[in-house]
């Protein structure tokens, strides 16, 4: 066997925006996505002539576009990130397995890894989103949201109806919707939840104080974050293609405080993805990494002998104390009320409740990051555009190797055309040293690329939970959170453009 391992769980990234999904979880309503995995050389010697491909998946609804990746050299201890197009629209919600094959002239290695898939739907009669998991169904209803509606990025005639219809969201999210080629400029529509209701219906009802976690791994809040991501990406698609206006959270219940300002108001897949990622990090911070609020509610309520918990619910009111900025320890106060409904052997129902006001903060942090890229590139001289990035954690220690998912996005100043490529730290090709904390990537421009391009280097953390951890331990490790701060959500008003990491002039 070849000494290759996949240390981190394979993860999903969105096909249009390029952003990793919350905790890397796949979502059926997105249809086509990217399946990403880091392949690590666990031996003491370099490996050469590697071929890497997906052999099969455990569910027939997981359809992988066949591609064999070739790696000429992988040094000892180095990792290489590979990805495949995958269509999971026909897959069921749950835990599934993907079999990867790595081979060269000396042998062959099969690696089987678990992935998670959710299935989100919307009930227009109750204005409620539902997400299916193997352990039960999660419900989310937004009662009140902040919303940016003063400045619109699409220069289109406004529709008479200024509300986006949730009924259209999942139809628009499907990547059979001809947006997968990234030729459209998506217009971000932003909101932060202020007041929401969540529910959990375990399947089947359970005895005792604690239910299984969704997928026996992530907290409930990760699934809630997936719903927030879907809403905002879908809204950007609707805004770009129909010129519709603001989001209605529930019937007649949208709140738009004055002075809310979202960076990223420009139209592009990058802006749309970062705006969606901002709502994700805000929600993840509010509900705490250490212990999910639903779990704390279970901690504080004690069913009687013989009782089965048939449902749980929670109402939450959020107050943002700081600007929402990636990589910073911004604080959120959450006033929440949890309720557990049980049924005893005689069919008698009883409720147990717990309330608390909690202050939580974002724990997905960077102390700083540094981007190095040329100001001018001359393709006629066969010059490659090379980008390097260093990312320091809260203790000013460099992230290395497979610890991050790093994308470079280039947006043309005039046409809005978007190019993206991955940066890696594996000592391969243009990256000089493995695991030295310098993530490197390149692109070769051609004569059609003349002009000035904005540079955005987006780094996200990766779920590195060990497979031997208990569900409670694994749930405290969450990946897919943006760390680099090209965007901020402030509450003081003003103009807030998306902030690039630099720009480059292509001379042909």
- In degrees and rounded to multiples of 5, residue 120 shows phi and psi of -100, 140
Give residue 287's pLDDT: 84
- Which residues in 72-87 are b (16+ Cβ under 10 Å) and which e? ebbbebbbbbbbbbbb
Answer for the pair 42, 237: CB distance below 8 angstroms, yes or no.
no
Task: List, as one string, the DSSP characters of 89-137.
Answer: TTPPSEEEEEEEEEEETTEEEEEEEEEEEEEEEEETTTTEEEEEETTEE
Three-point CA angle 30, 168, 116, nearest 5°? 25
CA 260 to CA 275: how far, in whole Å? Answer: 13
Give residue 218's pLDDT: 80
Answer for the pair 137, 131: CB distance below 8 angstroms, yes or no.
yes
Q: Which two tokens stand for residue 407?
A: 């994308």
CA 176 to CA 183: how far, in whole Å? Answer: 14
Listed in sequence order, the residues at least 6 apart from 362 whose beta carbon sits closer than 8 Å to its beta carbon are 281, 284, 285, 328, 329, 330
CA 52 to CA 507: how far, in whole Å? Answer: 37
Provide the terminal-to-terminal Cα distance of the chain, rounded to the nearest Å: 48
Q: Quickly tell me which residue has 């212990």 as its tokens.
A: 291
- In degrees and rounded to multiples of 5, residue 224 shows phi and psi of -60, -40
Give residue 142's pLDDT: 85
How does pLDDT run across 231-264, given as a tens digit for each residue? 888 777 666 655 444 433 332 223 333 344 343 3
- In degrees and rounded to multiples of 5, residue 206 shows phi and psi of -120, 155
Give pTM, 2 decimals: 0.90
- In degrees and rounded to multiples of 5, residue 362 shows phi and psi of -70, 130
Q: Which CATH class is domain 4-117?
A: mainly beta
Answer for the pair 42, 393: CB distance below 8 angstroms, yes or no.
no
Q: Which two tokens stand for residue 279?
A: 């709502």
Instruction: Check residue 361 and report its DSSP letter.
Output: E
CA 407 to CA 459: how far, in whole Å? Answer: 7
Secondary structure class of 317 (helix, strand, coil): strand
Q: Quickly tell me which residue has 């802006």 as its tokens.
A: 271
Give residue 252's pLDDT: 28
Q: Which CATH class is domain 368-506?
A: mainly beta
Residues (pLDDT < 70) of the chain are 147-187, 189-190, 237-267, 289, 491-497
CA 50 to CA 339: how far, in whole Å? Answer: 54
- CA-closest candidate to residue 30, choices 8, 3, 12: 12
- In degrees and rounded to multiples of 5, residue 2 shows phi and psi of -85, 135
Widest Cα–Cα separation across the chain: 82
Three-point CA angle 71, 72, 76, nearest 5°? 85
Handedness of CA 199, 203, 204, 210 (dihedral sign): negative
Do 4-117 and 368-506 come out as alike in CATH topology?
A: yes
Give residue 235's pLDDT: 72
CA 266 to CA 62: how far, in whole Å? Answer: 34
Length of the chain: 508
Query: What is the domain partition of the chain in residue ranges?
Result: 4-117, 119-361, 368-506
- CA-closest candidate to residue 19, choices 458, 470, 486, 331: 458
Give residue 159's pLDDT: 38
Per the DSSP assignment, residues forming a β-bridge with 51 are: 70, 103
Answer for the pair 68, 109: CB distance below 8 angstroms, yes or no.
no
Give residue 445's pLDDT: 96
Per the DSSP assignment, residues forming a β-bridge with 391 are: 369
Specify the DSSP element, H or E, that contains 210.
none
- In degrees and rounded to multiples of 5, residue 283 shows phi and psi of -70, -40
Answer for the pair 11, 20: CB distance below 8 angstroms, yes or no.
yes
Instruction: Check residue 467 and report its DSSP letter.
Output: T
Per the DSSP assignment, residues forming a β-bridge with 297 are: none
Answer for the pair 170, 123: CB distance below 8 angstroms, yes or no.
no
Three-point CA angle 279, 219, 18, nearest 5°? 45
């Amino acid at each position: 066997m070849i000494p290759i391992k996949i240390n981190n769980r394979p993860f999903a990234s969105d096909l249009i925006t390029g952003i990793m999904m919350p905790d890397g979880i796949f979502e059926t309503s997105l249809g086509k996505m990217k399946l990403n995995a880091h392949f690590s050389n666990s031996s003491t010697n370099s490996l050469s002539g590697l071929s890497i491909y997906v052999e099969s998946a455990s569910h027939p609804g997981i359809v992988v576009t066949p591609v064999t990746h070739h790696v000429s050299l992988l040094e000892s201890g180095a990792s290489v990130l590979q990805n495949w197009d995958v269509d999971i629209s026909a897959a069921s919600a749950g835990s599934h397995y993907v079999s990867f094959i790595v081979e060269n002239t000396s042998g062959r290695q099969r690696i089987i890894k678990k992935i998670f898939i959710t299935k989100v739907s919307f009930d227009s009669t109750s204005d409620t989103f539902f997400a299916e998991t193997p352990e039960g169904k999660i419900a989310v209803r937004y009662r009140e949201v902040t919303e940016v509606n003063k400045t619109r990025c699409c220069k289109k005639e406004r529709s008479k109806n200024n509300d986006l219809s949730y009924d259209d969201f999942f139809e628009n999210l499907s990547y059979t919707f001809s947006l997968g080629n990234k030729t459209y400029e998506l217009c971000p529509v932003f909101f932060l939840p202020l007041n929401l209701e969540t529910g959990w219906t375990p399947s089947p009802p359970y005895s005792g104080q604690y239910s299984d976690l969704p997928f026996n791994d992530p907290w409930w809040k990760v699934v809630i974050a997936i719903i927030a991501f879907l809403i905002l990406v879908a809204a950007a698609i609707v805004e770009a293609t129909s010129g519709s206006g603001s989001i209605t959270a529930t019937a007649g219940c949208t709140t738009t405080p004055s002075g809310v300002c979202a960076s990223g108001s420009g139209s592009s897949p990058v802006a749309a993805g970062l705006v969606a990622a901002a709502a994700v990090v805000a929600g993840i911070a509010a509900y705490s990494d250490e212990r999910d609020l639903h779990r704390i509610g279970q901690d504080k309520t004690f069913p009687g002998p013989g009782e089965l918990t048939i449902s749980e619910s929670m109402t939450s009111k959020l107050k943002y104390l700081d600007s929402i900025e990636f990589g910073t320890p911004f604080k959120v106060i959450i006033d929440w009320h949890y309720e557990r409904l049980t049924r005893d052997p005689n069919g008698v129902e009883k409720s147990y409740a717990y309330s608390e006001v909690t202050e939580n903060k974002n724990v997905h942090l960077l102390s700083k990051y540094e981007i190095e890229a040329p100001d001018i590139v001359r393709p006629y001289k066969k010059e490659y555009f090379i980008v390097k990035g260093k990312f320091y954690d809260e203790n000013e220690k460099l992230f290395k190797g497979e610890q991050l998912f790093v994308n470079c996005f280039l947006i043309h100043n005039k046409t809005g055309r978007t190019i993206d490529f991955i940066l890696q730290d594996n000592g391969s090709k243009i990256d000089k040293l493995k695991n030295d904390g310098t993530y490197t990537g390149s692109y070769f421009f051609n004569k059609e690329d003349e002009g000035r391009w904005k540079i955005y280097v987006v780094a996200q953390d990766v779920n590195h939970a060990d497979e031997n951890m208990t569900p409670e331990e694994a749930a405290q490790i969450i990946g897919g959170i943006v760390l680099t701060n090209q965007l901020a959500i402030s509450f003081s008003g003003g103009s807030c453009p998306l902030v690039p990491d630099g720009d480059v002039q292509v001379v042909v």
